[in-house]
Amino acid sequence: MTYITKPKLHHPSLKRNAVGFTRRDYEGQVSTLCAGCGHDSISASIVQSCYEMAIEPHRVAKLSGIGCSSKTPTYFLGASHGFNTVHGRMPSVLTGAHLANRELIYMGVSGDGDSASIGLGQFAHVMRRGVNMVYIVMNNGVYGLTKGQFSATADKGSVAKKGAVNNDAGIDLASMAILMGASFVARSFSGDKAQLVPLIKAAMSHPGAAILDVISPCVAFNNHKGSTRSYDYVRHHNEALNRLDVITGSAPITAEYEPGAMVEVEQPNGTTLRLRKISADYDPSDKAAALAHIQEQDNVGEIATGLLYLASGRQDLHANLDTVETPLNRLGEADLCPGSAALEAINKGLR
Amino acid sequence: MAQQLTATNDFVIKFANVNGSGSASANELFARAILRMGVPVSPRNIFPSNIQGLPTWYEVRVSEAGYLGRRGGLDMIVAMNPETWQRDLAEVAPGGYLFYDSTRPLPPEMFRDDLTSIGVPLTEICNATYSDPRQRQLFKNIIYVGALSALMDIDPAVIEALFSEQFKGKEALIDKNVAALNLGRDWVQKNLDPDICKLKVAPADAVGDRIFMEGNAASALGCVYGGATVCAWYPITPSSSVAEAFESYCRKFRKEPESGKSKYAVIQSEDELASIGMVIGAGWNGARAFTSTSGPGVSLMTEFIGLAYFAEIPAVIVNVQRGGPSTGMPTRTQQADILSCAYASNGDTKHVLLFPEDPRECFDHSAAALDLADRLQTPVFVMSDLDIGMNRRLCAPLEWDDSRKLDRGKVMTADELEAGREFGRYLDVDGDGIPYRTLPGTHPSRGAFFTRGTTKNRYARYSEEGADYIENMERLVRKFDTAKSQVPQPVLRRAEADTRYGVLYFGSTAPSMDEALDRLGNEGLHVNAMRLRAFPFPDSVAEFIAAHDRVFLVEQNRDGQMRMLLCNELEIDPARLVPVLHYDGTPITARFIHGAIRDRLAQYQVVPLERAVS
């Protein structure tokens, strides 16, 4: 970590995006995480995504649970409201916040302990409900703040820094999210910004429950030989399925991609995802095939990354509840209170 | 044979049934008919944690004097459940009545010779009339209501009117029910001396404009009127009907006329942790939100309640209390969550509690709780219980002032931020301990802050500095002091004569307490009474205690939780607060309170006033 305070002045020649903000406007405070932490790369990718998508920072609400990952919302989008909730329970708070105001963009940030161990229940249910959000799991397989215990996503047989072997089956949050009904499921690696940034942008443009399981090595406790979450291990076992562009109506935002077949998927809110296939026969709209592929890759020790699953036609929570377009937090007395005459009628029926 | 009990408009009748047999609506019909004759009734469901097959009871107190608490004792049993026959029979006072199905002859040991047994061959009548087994079961209930109406002089026209209202538009059903009613009436009139039963109902004018409502429905309606838009809940007896009623009222009142879209959101969550999490998320984001639950749910919510206290987020929790601890007595009533709610969470916390006495106050307090939560930026509990929540109770009609505004509390607007007004999320600008907050998305560059359960300074920046921590914790105490004047104030009932004795009570104890006070007063035993309506305790509570040598504290739990809270918060000598505790899961009775206070006063050698004078 660093003790340097970030300068507030921006260089006047910094480029501005379509809504007039510089990249710096999307940053937060200086990170207090360890130097080299994968989480900081994810924060930087979030900053880049929001800048490139020209989202007004105050239109984003960022919520997190507890743990190293959940500290990161302090380090990006400093002009957004943030909420560091309780351990494993960010999904319910995010759900409630979303019910109150459907117009903001909701970003849930969590870790593997937060989502797969203590918070597995809320993780499952927030996916089931189709809450319109970007849910980012910064997945390193260990508890960092409490110094290196295994989390529930640690692979069976992986070895802790102090030599302990994990005997419990690891939970794959991406497969789980697909099963639970998430409509956008992706996996990426904190060390692969070229893949991660378009995925974050695609997730933000997706009108439903979008989850990104981002493998993010813990340099302090899980970056050694024998770990299946180390930089080296993940680099060698990363099987990217596809690369993404997001088209938001105006010019497409593109990143540098390897060549491959291209598919365009239009989403219900008008945005289009342009998918460049790397694995030629992988179809992310096929739920069963997606699950099978993730499992097959896992069987041979590989990690499937990219857009794993994209559901078509699924509705989000507000659509299911058929709530009014006006955010509920803006409704006043006239909308909410039936008044004394209605009450008198109720009284009458109770005599 | 004991003297037959003789009473008009003043008796207790209990129906012993089997759960799932359709008796509930027939029994309620009986109670409503008496109410329609202008005589106050207070019915109570005594039901098992079961859907079908276990014993269930419905006790109706008829009281022209208007006493709505449980009286204790029994004047007539309607014995429809062979399984509980013996214990039901044992409860009836000497001279009382046994009403039973006499289709099959019963051995003499099934009867008590100090009771008047009234047999009506219900099954035989049913079998002769209906062939469908379900009809036989359902109409048997209506037939006994008919028989009882003939025995007690309940006006059949009143019952027929109730049928017409209940089955409006389904004429065939009305006719069928009226026919069943008359089967019972006709049999009694043909075969029995109408004066065999000396418990009678006579038309009176003692109900007035009062309404007959369940507390849970009233709480739900209070949340509708109070502007709640988000309800997140998890099913738990005895609170489930709060959320269900909220949704049902919202379907009626909160649909956008043109589109049919909903101006509310109800989520049945995966557990109570998620319920309160959603409420807190919505509250943080400026929507009024509540959850309804019972004791075990509060236990689960405790961590989140601490967060809402410390991060200062509005949240309303309607706690319909039941018997604890653990799963406890899920279908019985208690007031045993006082301490677990008042101090819910790790660390130093205190929460606002409101104590409604009846459905009217469930309505008022629930609406008030939403205002208070916004105003104080903190969790507020509405401490109802099963006795109020799940029974229909006669109470004052609900009222709403159309000029009333939702009190959103201190929320800084975009204009204020734009104008350069200083914003510190935890800055006590007004000296009342209540800071300003901003809602997410308010202003492009000002007013954003980070909400957290960790310690912070007044500008919401993370801080582990002792001075910052203490400043914040002391401000929270100041805020809690501010709450004293904003919560519903206690209600004082002075005795007819000066006295050194007082009594404190709250919640569902109220109707039994009122009756006990009348009886004590009639005996010349004078006690001043104060009904607590909220925690924190307004100063008038300490003054009341100070003004009396001894104060009885009547509550429905084992440990005297309200007494502990008072001793702890007001630094009262425990010896001055005399516990009167009832906690077997049944609603407290006037007989119990009267007996307990009378006996204590005798120990203190209090001489009844008129005796002292004469």
pLDDT digits (tens, 9 = 90+) for B53-97: 899 999 999 999 999 999 989 999 999 999 999 999 999 999 999
pLDDT tens string B411-446: 999 999 999 999 999 999 999 999 999 999 999 999
Helices (H), B208-343: 215-225, 240-253, 272-284, 295-311, 338-342
How many other C-beta atoms can be found within 10 angstroms of the C-beta atom of residue B538?
Answer: 20
Contact assignment for B259 to A343 by CB distance below 8 Å = no
Q: What is the pLDDT of residue A315?
A: 85
CATH class in words for B7-200: alpha beta
Confidence of residue B390 (pLDDT cuts 50, 70, 90): very high
Q: A120 at the B interface (CB within 8 A)? A: no
Which residues of B are less than 8 Å from A84 in CB distance?
Answer: 450-454
Q: What is the pLDDT of residue A255?
A: 44
Q: At what angle do helices B171-191 and B133-152 cross, to 10 degrees?
A: 50
Report the C-alpha gap between A5 and A7 in whole angstroms: 6
Structure tokens at B439: 């809602």
Inform me whether the pLDDT recorded for B1 exceeds 70. Answer: no
DSSP-derived letter for residue B502 is E
pLDDT tens string A65-119: 999 999 999 999 999 999 999 999 999 999 999 999 999 999 999 999 999 999 9
Instruction: State how far Cα A196 lies from the chain centre.
Output: 11
Domain ranges of chain A: 23-349
DSSP-derived letter for residue A115 is I
CB B433 within 8 A of CB B286: no
Q: B407 at the A interface (CB within 8 A)? A: no
Q: B277 at the A interface (CB within 8 A)? A: yes
Q: A175 at the B interface (CB within 8 A)? A: no
> Smallest CA–CA separation between A33 and chain B, in Å?
15
CB A305 within 8 A of CB A294: no
| Residues in B 153-212 with any Cβ partner in A closer than 8 A | 207, 209-212
Confidence of residue B610 (pLDDT cuts 50, 70, 90): low
Confidence of residue B327 (pLDDT cuts 50, 70, 90): very high
C-alpha distances (whole Å) from A349 to each of A299, A343, B350, B398 are: 65, 10, 39, 12
Inform me whether the pLDDT recorded for B225 exceeds 70. Answer: yes
Inform me whether the pLDDT recorded for B528 exceeds 80. Answer: yes
CA-based nearest residue to A28, from A85, A89, A80: A80
DSSP-derived letter for residue B540 is H
Closest residue in B to A64 (Cα) is B452
Which residues of B are less than 8 Å from A101 in CB distance?
Answer: 285-287, 439-441
Q: What CATH code would you report for B491-613? A: 3.40.50.920
Q: What is the pLDDT of residue B253?
A: 98
CA-based nearest residue to B441, from A318, A50, A61: A61
The shortest CB-CB distance from A328 to any of B287, B398, B401 is to B287
How many other C-beta atoms can be found within 10 angstroms of the C-beta atom of residue A345?
Answer: 11
Question: By three-state DSSP, how is residue B187 classified?
Answer: helix
Cα-trace Rg, chain A: 21
Say yes or no: domain A23-349 is CATH 3.30.470.20: no
Structure tokens at A233: 């291990």
Q: B283 at the A interface (CB within 8 A)? A: yes
Q: What is the pLDDT of residue B408?
A: 97
CB B534 within 8 A of CB B87: no
- Provide φ and ψ at B417, rounded to 5°: -65, -40
Q: B233 at the A interface (CB within 8 A)? A: no
The shortest CB-CB distance from B225 to any of A56, A63, A337 is to A337
Q: B413 at the A interface (CB within 8 A)? A: no
Q: What is the pLDDT of residue A1?
A: 45
Q: B227 at the A interface (CB within 8 A)? A: yes
Q: What is the pLDDT of residue A256?
A: 45
Q: What is the mean pLDDT of chain A?
A: 90
Could you please state the CATH topology (level 3) that the domain comprising B213-395 is classified under: Rossmann fold (3.40.50)
The ranges of chain A with pLDDT < 50 are 1, 250-257
**B7-200 and B491-613 share one fold:** no
How many other C-beta atoms can be found within 10 angstroms of the C-beta atom of residue B257?
Answer: 6
Cα-trace Rg, chain B: 27
Q: What is the pLDDT of residue A269?
A: 76
Q: What is the pLDDT of residue A257?
A: 45
Specify the range with the lowest mean pLDDT, choosing from A97-106, A232-241, B196-205, B398-407: A232-241
Using CB atoms within 10 Å of the CB of residue B228, give its burial: 0 to 12 exposed, 13 to 18 middle, 19+ buried: buried
Q: Tell me which amino acid residue B583 is.
A: Y
pLDDT tens string B162-190: 999 999 999 999 999 999 999 999 999 99
Domain ranges of chain B: 7-200, 213-395, 414-486, 491-613
CA-based nearest residue to A126, from A80, A152, A88: A88
CB B249 within 8 A of CB B223: no
Contact assignment for B254 to A342 by CB distance below 8 Å = no
Q: What is the pLDDT of residue B605?
A: 81
Report the C-alpha gap between A301 and A3 in whole angstroms: 40
Q: What is the pLDDT of residue A161?
A: 86
The shortest CB-CB distance from A92 to any of B212, B269, B286 is to B269
The shortest CB-CB distance from B262 to any of A58, A78, A323 is to A323
The shortest CB-CB distance from A99 to any of B213, B265, B454 is to B265
